[in-house]
């Protein structure tokens, strides 16, 4: 059980050049952030700079029987945090990541299981983050998230994620 004010132990970094095991990362995430086990994350996939979650709607229902905006917002924010954390881990960095700014735009109700996709807002974003980490020891990246229910885009989100200095 997590205690307030006590950081959760970091997941050991993957072997150099090897990607994280998505299932192991999600198990660690559920321990580190207790809310995660209630979000309905069924699977996580990484394809290049794209990170995708497949989610079930049932634990995220609102009183109208559609997706609860607060849960969807939490998911978009957390997906961006995961993108940044996994990107850092892939490069051998064990750093703290925080969301600095986030916004969402709801476009259509979520009426079935869905997927969330996170990518850098700008193609050069990851390279710029790498340069800032090298030169300043900290950095920031803008990411976008899209929630798709079948072929319907239901939510667009954007977030700035800050990588804190080592220490």
Whether residue 133 lies inside any domain: the answer is no
Whether residue 67 lies inside any domain: the answer is yes
Whether residue 27 lies inside any domain: the answer is no
CB atoms within 10 A of CB 41: 21
Q: What is the pLDDT of residues 90-149, one digit of tens each?
A: 999 999 999 999 999 999 999 999 999 999 999 999 999 999 999 999 999 999 999 999
* Integer Cα distance of 167 and 165 in angstroms: 6
**φ, ψ of residue 85 in degrees (nearest 5):** -60, -45
CATH code for the domain of 113:
3.10.129.10
Q: Are 77 and 102 in contact (CB under 8 A)?
A: yes
Whether residue 166 lies inside any domain: the answer is yes
Q: Are 131 and 163 in contact (CB under 8 A)?
A: no
Whether residue 64 lies inside any domain: the answer is yes
Average of pLDDT values for 18-46?
93
pLDDT of residue 165: 95
Whether residue 33 lies inside any domain: the answer is no
Average of pLDDT values for 15-43?
92
Lookup result for tokens 């952030």: 33
Cα separation of the two ends of the chain:
25
Least confident span in 6-20, 22-36, 150-164: 6-20
pTM of the model: 0.95
* Integer Cα distance of 1 and 143 in angstroms: 31
Number of separate domains in the chain: 1
Q: What is the pLDDT of residues 34-49, one digit of tens each?
A: 999 999 999 999 999 9
Domain that holds residue 105: 43-120+157-167
pLDDT of residue 114: 98
Whether residue 138 lies inside any domain: the answer is no
Whether residue 116 lies inside any domain: the answer is yes
């Amino acid at each position: 059980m997590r205690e307030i004010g006590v950081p959760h132990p970091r997941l050991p970094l993957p072997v150099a050049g090897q990607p994280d095991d998505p299932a192991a990362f999600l198990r660690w995430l559920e321990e580190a952030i207790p809310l995660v086990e209630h979000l309905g994350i069924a699977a996580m996939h990484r394809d290049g700079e794209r990170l995708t979650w497949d989610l079930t709607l049932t634990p995220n229902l609102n009183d109208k029987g559609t997706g609860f905006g607060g849960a969807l917002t939490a998911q978009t924010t957390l997906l961006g945090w995961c993108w940044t954390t996994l990107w850092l881990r892939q490069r051998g960095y064990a750093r703290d990541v925080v969301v600095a700014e986030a916004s969402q735009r709801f476009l259509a109700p979520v009426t079935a299981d869905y997927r969330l996709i996170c990518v850098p807002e700008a193609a050069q974003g990851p390279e710029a983050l790498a340069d800032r980490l090298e030169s300043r020891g900290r950095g920031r990246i803008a990411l976008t998230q899209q929630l798709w229910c079948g072929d319907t885009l239901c939510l667009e989100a954007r977030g700035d994620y800050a990588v804190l200095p080592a220490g």
